[in-house]
Structure 1
Amino acid sequence: RLPALWSATHPGRHGAGRFAQFPPSTHPSTVLRAALLALGLASPAASGPLVDTATQIEAKLAANDTTGAIDTARMMLAQVWDTAPTLTFTESTLVAQNATGYGVYNPRANNQFKQGTPILIYCEPVGFGYGSPGAGLYSVNFFIDLQVLDSAGNELAGTPAVTEYNMPSRHQNKEVQANITYNVDGLKPGRYTLITTLRDKNSDKSGSFQTPIEILP
């Protein structure tokens, strides 16, 4: 076992938006229909819950019910989300400092670290479930496991649940980011691969990603 300290944090989220006018060729209903055609969902032969939901979105857009269309689109995303068999990641990368929100991060210039330097990783998990802690809240919860492999692929350390991620929210957030900090003071100079695994506490799903690093003298 490496003499290390592990932590994961989850900064707040920031964002802004506005309504916009679209020319006919780029109106959301036109774009949606083009996307459905590309997926084969807009043909008369297509059927199923996703097609039904997409039809509802088009109807709401045609009625200028933008808010209703967005709410229904979220339902469609949830339908796809729930069918994911495992956790996946839209991003997993080394960062220069902890992110301050979803997508608000600065990638690290390289993967080289002096001994004793904390290793900061940013990731965006997808497909997780939600807990119900009460008081009208939802929660996103993971155990985070770490494996360390040497340059030959041999496992040097494997620590389940080195830390946890727990985030309460009033919404079933889909844009969730985790900042993971590894202190691997026991590693000698050389090349290594860190395998990070998130295990969802609210479903049977899990997912992993690999991060190559090099420890310098």
Structure 2
Amino acid sequence: MTAGIIRWFRLAGSLLTVCAVLPAAALAEPATLTAPAPSAELAGSYDQLETAWTASPLAFTAAGFAEGPARGYGKYTPRESAVFAPGETMTVYVQPVGYGFNKTGSGYDYAMDASYRLITPSGQVLAAENKFAALAGSSRAEDRQAFTSLNFTFEGLPEGSYTLETTFADAIGGKTGVISLSFEVKAAK
């Protein structure tokens, strides 16, 4: 036994040392999978998911105002009210589905751009910006858990009702999806 591996872990404030001694030849050998394969039913459901995903428009399983940025996929707190104080930052949480993947030498990429329009009830566009945010990622497998939190702050917006329209454009799949969220600006009394 000529090689040793020492790993340090911090666990609840204490230091835990794990030491394993492996033969040098074992370190050079590739790892092999010795886990059970998924059932035929589960493997078939992945095939069905692939077919449905590809056929779907760019859509959203979650989209709405949130209490601050997300901490991960599905890890956000929905905002109970769509009423904001003047100048208050609005956070929008989004989970897109149906976007395309690009196969690379090391896995799969996805890429989307977001644009927005701020619209009055009469249809007047008060503010707009194309490609103000990008949502992209790379993974060894097709990552179907993309999410983002978008922050908007509109200084000087008078009290009233508005619509925030956010358009996502899938750079790989060529699809677009639009989220329209109505909100109100109202000063605290």
TM bucket (normalised to shorter chain) is 0.7 to 0.9
**Greater mean alpha carbon deviation, residues 142-151 or residues 186-195:** 186-195
Letter in 2 for 1:160: N
Aligned to 1:176: 146
Which residue is 2:174 aligned to? 204
List aligned pairs for 1:50-69, cutoff 5 A: 66-69=38-41
What is the letter of the counterpart of residue 198 of structure 1?
F
Q: Report which structure shows greater RCO (CA 8 Å, sep ≥6).
A: 1
From the CA coordinates, give the structure whose radius of gyration is larger.
2
Aligned to 2:45: 73
Pairing 1:1-217 to 2, within 5 Å after superposition: 66-84=38-56, 86-132=57-103, 134=104, 136-217=106-187
Task: Determine the C-alpha separation between the residues in 2 that align with 1:167 and 1:195.
Answer: 24
**Which sections of structure 1, spanning at least 5 residues, go unmatched?**
1-63
Give, in angstroms, the shift of residue 216 of structure 1: 2.4
Specify whether residues 98 and 67 from structure 1 end up closer, same or farther in structure 2 by C-alpha distance, changes over 3 A only: farther
Q: Which moved more, 1:142-151 or 1:123-132?
A: 123-132
TM-superposed deviation, 1:136: 0.7
Moved over 6 A (4+): none
Question: As a proportion of its length, which structure holds more strand?
Answer: 2
TM-score (norm: length of structure 2): 0.73
Q: Which has the higher helix share?
A: 1
Quote the sequence identity (%). 24
Q: Tell me the TM-score normalised to structure 1 length.
A: 0.64
1: CA distance between counterparts of 2:175 and 2:110?
A: 13
Give, in whole Å, the separation in 2 of the partners of 1:124 and 1:107: 13
Measured in 1, the distance between the counterparts of 2:165 and 2:95 equals 15
| Cα deviation digits, residues 94-135 of structure 1 (max 9, x gap) | 110212222221111201112222110111111100134x45
Q: Which residue of 1 aligns with 2:22?
A: none
| Root mean square deviation of aligned Cα | 1.9
CA displacement at 1:186 relative to structure 2: 4.1
SS of aligned partner of 1:152: coil
Kindly provide the amino acid, as one letter, of the partner of residue 124 in structure 2. Answer: N
Q: Distance in 2 between matches of 1:174 and 1:210?
A: 23
SS state at 1:184 partner = coil
User: Which blocks of at least 5 consecutive residues in structure 2 are unaligned?
Assistant: 1-35
Q: CA deviation at 1:154?
A: 2.0
Quote the offset at 1:168 in angstroms: 1.8
